[in-house]
Structure 1
């Protein structure tokens, strides 16, 4: 019995769901929508390490220690224990904990026939990335490869693009790697999967979230009305950037070249190294940025390869590349998911003069920065968030391979400029692979690490049987530009 004059206690009930899930962003979901039997949307890479510090008594790699180290780090990347589910009414994907997670399924241990060569490692990597990841499981695989000549081993990583972009990938590398050699392996805590929603629960929960977002937008509209001038200025800026991005070529098919046939599911992988100091010499002498120097090297290599090894005259042909630009802020470092926008850049492979090519590239990238194309591309992705796929994905599905707004991808990923270690083993190199879109016979991904630019060349198996010649053309293009920079 309560004393007279006292208020009844306030009873507040907080609803705690009996299940857990996380929706994919619309950009992340678009990479699932873009995947086809011939276009695999996983990113990959080959990291090469010194083998000596991790050798077991039988001369092989101590795979038990390597796997224990990887397992101990999964506590920091929970996405690696999650699989896809789908909202029943709109088929939007969500992440749920995988209650049948099997670590050994995702981490493989194999050996090349000793002494394994780089050529054999490249062939193995091409075969591994030629198959799609199983969507019924967490979307990643690691292959620990021993038996490589020169007392080395490698880790081939394969992760779906919907989980990771290049810059967040660097953050994940810092989880597995250390700046100093260490023999310490963290204790792997126990893990209990959270219950996944039933299809009905998922449908109801997502419908409620949609309603909540609508109410929040109305509330924000009232706040925005109080500051109409500032809001109008922001909207004008974003609209101008979005229109400028669209006009850059996203709605116009790129011209066809020998590197743009109908591709199959199988891949080749090759690589080449360039001194980062050479790229800096190019940009210091000829202007622009390191990314501009990378694009200039790519332009010279592509021109040389197409003219000398395909007999194709690029005169009068517009060759466009997609160059991803990070929109990830400092407080988003370490978070999984994609925070990228895409620049479309005309690569002047029709110009025989290397200096003139470089000048055109620097002028174009300066224009893209001035017109804020990264913001424009990001705005277009946000505007497409009312549908389950992005604007580009929708265009791809409506008009198919005819809608190919660029000829290839060239992505430059900044990495640490000091040695990194997997336990006691120093990482010697890391060659990334970029997914191939429809009718893209080749793609370049470049990772800067410890004073080197590591170029990964992923190609359609039938389009580029002579991938080594393209790797040589990259080396020759860099030498030519360095020579001109020193003149």
Structure 2
């Protein structure tokens, strides 16, 4: 494959380029996962130390080639950026060793993760990091992954945390990896490649020149047309989300917290109230957000809601996870629904959550606009920073909080060691002060919360709120029994 063909093949997709350009002040489009490891389950496996983790990752990188590549932008934005092999790739830069003061608590682990997730990734290197964290109580270890969202797009481009984990104690046999970086293209070759890519779609190229797509024409006209196109899509939603500090302008400083509850008891609640498992999960979160609101305002009005965006798949009671399951969210249809935090009865709140979610998931006017780039089919990147900023502003008030819900995940092992807990760490978009993930793993429902430290400074309290909200549902009777 010659240089020109390689450039055209290795160009970022429109969606990946959108995530790449969404980085900015207060926004870092990286996400990750937290794996809590139980070393006592390893048996005869080699102790999981820093060198052992590096060895595992080195062997697995052949399954995720993007993790040895850097993003290289095309001059003047004439085309989407490229994936280019990093000629100076150093795995020891990306995998790091950290420790908590023994015996480390989950609260101390959360604070360390918050500091790590607050820092931007180095754009001059492959956009990921991994941390082996020692010192957790009970002899446990933690592995934290941090990947830019543009790296992760479906089964062909998995997140590094999924790459290093196995569904059995013994991992797959892999060929010896003799990777050598390819020669990076120069800007001249990249420019020629961008023009050749555009020439492959001559109608689009002519349209871009005549109508102002790209730096050689009227970029303001293009940005305005793109913004109006997306705005018309947003109008499908009935009305704006309620006023909430959760839509405050965000900073880059983060907080992280995690909590878990019994999956079996969630199923018991769902059976008692004749609703779905995910209805129970959303009701637990409604109770959490009610408590958080009361802690900040001292009062919650009857009928008050917080609007959430939720995967549409979560409403499919017949859905069956194919394969071992994934804890990393992919591009999928979503809908917006309201969490009734103004209802003080946990049983009534659950029934309201179920009714609203059932109604809105079937309404075309509540389907969320897909997270797509402006003018996605064009190879050029029209005024990327303006497009990203416009995207954030348009979608600012369509919902208050995103809730990612994963598949049911089968047991995982890392280098023969059982993974006891898995938490997804979602990215925190601009104009969002809180994001929540939900995983089903190891007989538990595991919640990950990431927030803007300046807005949700009491995020550690969410751990207790999850337990309280769950307990009140577990002990609640049906409304007619009250």
Q: TM-score, structure 1 length as denominator?
A: 0.78
Matches within 5 A, 1:53-452: 61-90=48-77, 92-164=80-152, 173-182=161-170, 186=174, 188-214=176-202, 246-248=235-237, 253-315=240-302, 317-325=304-312, 338-371=330-363, 377-378=369-370, 384-386=376-378, 388=381, 394=387, 396-397=389-390, 400=393, 403-417=396-410, 419-452=411-444
How many residue pairs end up in the alignment? 444
CA distance in 2, matches of 1:455, 1:393: 34
SS in 1 for 2:188: helix
State how far apart, in whole Å, the 2-side matches of 1:305 and 1:389 are. Answer: 41
Secondary structure, aligned partner of 1:120: helix
Partner of 2:15, secondary structure, is helix
Gapped runs of 5+ residues in structure 2? 206-230, 315-320
Tell me the alpha carbon deviations over residues 438-480 of structure 1, each in whole angstroms, 9 at most, x when there is no partner. Answer: 3422221111112111111112223333223222112221222
Q: Hey, what's the Cα distance between the residues in 1 that align with 2:123 and 2:468? A: 41
Equivalent of residue 458 in structure 1, options 450, 459, 463: 450
Question: Following the alignment from structure 1 to structure 2, what is the Cα–Cα distance between the partners of residues 389 and 470?
Answer: 41
**Match for residue 227 of structure 1?**
none
1:410 Cα deviation after fit: 1.2
Question: Is the Cα contact below 8 Å between 2:152 and 2:159 reproduced in 1?
Answer: no
Cross-structure match for 1:41: 29
Distance 2:451 2:179 in 1: 39
Cα separation, 2, equivalents of 1:165 and 1:16: 25
- Greater shift, 265-274 or 60-69, is seen at 60-69
Residue 30 (structure 1) aligns with: 18
Q: Kindly tell me: are residues 169 and 115 of structure 1, through their superposed partners in 2, closer, same or farther at Cα, counting changes over 3 Å?
A: farther
Instruction: Output the CA distance in 1 between the equivalents of 2:302 and 2:383.
Output: 34
Does the 8 Å CA contact 1:116/1:147 hold for their aligned counterparts? Answer: yes
SS in 1 for 2:462: helix
SS of the residue 2:96 aligns to: strand
**Separation of aligned partners in 2, 1:110 and 1:175:** 21
1:71-91 deviations in Å (ceiling 9; x for gaps): 100011111111101222436
Moved more, 104-113 or 152-161: 104-113
- Aligned-residue Cα RMSD (Å) equals 4.0
- CA separation in 1, counterparts of 2:388 and 2:126? 28
> What whole-Å deviation, never above 9, does each CA across 1:229-270 have from its counterpart, x for those lacking one?
xxxxxxxxxxxxx98874225xx6533324443332111111
For residues 436 and 477 of structure 1, what CA distance do their matches in structure 2 show? 24
Could you tell me whether the CA contact under 8 Å between 1:343 and 1:368 is conserved in 2?
yes
Check if 1:50 corresponds to 2:50.
no
Of 452-461 and 208-217, more deviation after overlay is shown by: 208-217
State how far apart, in whole Å, the 2-side matches of 1:75 and 1:138 are: 14
Aligned residues of 1:140 and 1:160 also touching (Cα < 8 A): yes
3-state SS, counterpart of residue 457 of structure 1: strand
Q: Distance in 1 between matches of 2:40 and 2:234?
A: 50
The match for 2:464 is 472
Q: Which runs of 5+ in 1 are unaligned?
A: 1-13, 218-241
TM (norm. structure 2) is 0.79
Distance in 1 (CA, whole Å) between partners of 2:462 and 2:382 is 34
- Provide closer, same or farther for how the CA distance between residues 136 and 261 of structure 1 changes in structure 2, counting only shifts above 3 A: same
Q: Distance in 2 between matches of 1:398 and 1:378?
A: 12
Given that 1:122 and 1:268 are in contact with CA atoms closer than 8 Å, whether structure 2 keeps it comes out as: yes
Q: CA deviation at 1:186?
A: 4.9
Larger radius of gyration: 1
Do 2:86 and 2:181's aligned partners in 1 also have CA atoms closer than 8 Å? Answer: yes
Given that 2:77 and 2:383 are in contact with CA atoms closer than 8 Å, whether structure 1 keeps it comes out as no
Q: Compute the displacement of 1:343 (Å).
A: 2.3
**Contact 1:325–1:374 (CA under 8 A) maintained in structure 2:** no
- 83-92 or 445-454, which deviates more: 83-92
Aligned-partner SS, 1:410: strand
| Alpha-carbon distance in structure 2 between the residues aligned to 1:156 and 1:470 | 21
Per the TM alignment, residue 200 of structure 1 is displaced from its structure 2 partner at its CA by 2.4
